[in-house]
Structure 1
Amino acid sequence: MAVAATPKAKRAGAAKSKARLEPVRDAERTQQAILAAAEAEFASKGLAGARVDVIAEQAGANKRMMYYYFGSKDDLYLAVLERAYGAMREKERDLNLADLDPLEAIKTLVHFKFDYYVEHQSIISLLAGENLSGATFLKRSRKLRDMQTSLVGVIQRVLAAGEAKGVIRKGLDPLHLYLSISALGYFYFSNAATLSVAFGRQLLSAPERNERRQHCVDVIMSYVTAR
């Protein structure tokens, strides 16, 4: 016959479980702190200019821990890229586009992509740097393609639903639609500094951003809506 654990034994067991979890939580916190610091450093200075000692200091860690968790500076850079893409994909999934009215889903995605660039300027710099390198590091990623394929599949379902209802044009390519939505915002923010000087307008000011945001919506919705 089993003997029921005493309250003291239960407390002791709970304490042991907590003790086992703490190192795991600490490790996760440390890794996330390193990734956040690395994202800021890489976005600001690029891979070549970024310094691992600065990353470690900003993360409240040390270089030994950084190398233990991520292996090398290059591996850390790839982890930062995957984290940036993963965070954006997660937010896109949270939109639940397939559950919305098709036209509303497209409009929601346009709003999201534009606003995401406003709120996450670092991803602009990270993507610019990686494109200059010919996507050297993202080619090594085992996660990226799955992330992108999943999103394109959602857009495909939205387009199919819209076609069935007669509200979205037939034959639209979900990938090219997504590229157009992304490009309308990405180009604006990645070139805002030079364009502001060239045209004498403060393109990053709130009024200009709001006008551009609506312009993006108008362009995409005019393109996808069935006539």
Structure 2
Amino acid sequence: MVDTKKKPANPRKSRWKQDPDAVKADILRVATDEFAAHGLSGGRIDEIAKKTEASKRMIYYYFGDKEGLYQSVLENVYSTLRESEDALKVENLEPVAALTRLVEATFDAHVNTPLFIRLVMIENIHNAVYLRRSEIIPQLNRSIIDKLGDVCRRGKAAGIFRCDADPLELHWLISSSSFYNVSNRATFSTSFGDSLYTPEGQARLRQRVIDMVLGLVVIGYEPRQIAAE
């Protein structure tokens, strides 16, 4: 006798067909955690598939292979960080206020995206091989330089900024402080205590980074006084 009962639909397969963007986003979310925790070599596709609604076949279908998935993760985290910067509307702010806002936003964005920091550290171990392969990330990175370039031009034209203010140098200074604050938190706090990682300590560091950057480019800038605790 022929069994006429329908087999239950595979929920993974149904989701794959009905909402592929959501499936890809779920894979990227889990893969970001996996690669940030274990690196490219230690990250396992089996583990990513187990924690998502996707099968290994789906992962390979969307991303090609493990390296393709890793590169997509990198592009996604860079995109998330740069989108937060792009959302800032500083064009109508006067130059000092605009630069202050960009420094604040970069500092906060790094604090709020620790997985980005871990992945960049891993990519530096790989000598930026996968970053170089990406056609997306250089375009994303260009936007913050353009914003800083606009602020520098306006500041110089107004006679507020030093004539040697350079957007690329500013980005390096802002990013290096913001990055170190997160990347070296474990070793720094273990060596020297965690006073700089309390809410008050982080607020002070944030202001110090602002003072450092503005002090380098704003003519006659006086650092803001921070009340002693």
* Alignment TM class, shorter chain as reference: 0.7 to 0.9
TM (norm. structure 1) is 0.86
Question: In the alignment, is residue 93 of structure 1 matched against residue 86 of structure 2?
Answer: yes
Q: What count of residue pairs does the alignment treat as equivalent?
A: 206
Q: Is the 8 A contact 2:84 2:109 kept in 1?
A: no
Query: Could you say which residue in structure 1 is the equivalent of 2:226?
Result: none
Query: Could you say which residue in structure 1 is the equivalent of 2:159?
Result: 166
Query: Could you say which residue in structure 2 is the equivalent of 1:47?
Result: 40
The two structures, once aligned, show a CA RMSD in angstroms of: 1.6
Structure 1's 51 and 225: CA in aligned 2 closer, same or farther, altered over 3 A? same
Question: In the alignment, is residue 125 of structure 1 matched against residue 130 of structure 2?
Answer: no
Structure 1 runs of 4+ off > 4 angstroms? 22-25
- Partner Cα distance (2:46, 2:131) in 1: 24
Q: Is the 8 A contact 1:162 1:168 kept in 2?
A: yes
Match of 1:34 among 21, 24, 27: 27
| Identical-pair percentage | 36
1:25 Cα offset (Å): 6.2
- Partner Cα distance (1:44, 1:25) in 2: 31
Query: Could you say which residue in structure 2 is the equivalent of 1:8?
Result: none
Q: Which runs of 5+ in 2 are unaligned?
A: 1-14, 221-229
Query: Could you say which residue in structure 2 is the equivalent of 1:150?
Result: 143
Q: Which runs of 5+ in 1 are unaligned?
A: 1-21
- Partner Cα distance (2:216, 2:76) in 1: 32
Structure 1's 91 and 83: CA in aligned 2 closer, same or farther, altered over 3 A? same
Decide which structure has greater helix share. 1
- Partner Cα distance (1:57, 1:165) in 2: 58
- Partner Cα distance (2:43, 2:60) in 1: 15
Q: Is the 8 A contact 1:192 1:203 kept in 2?
A: no
1:150 Cα offset (Å): 2.8
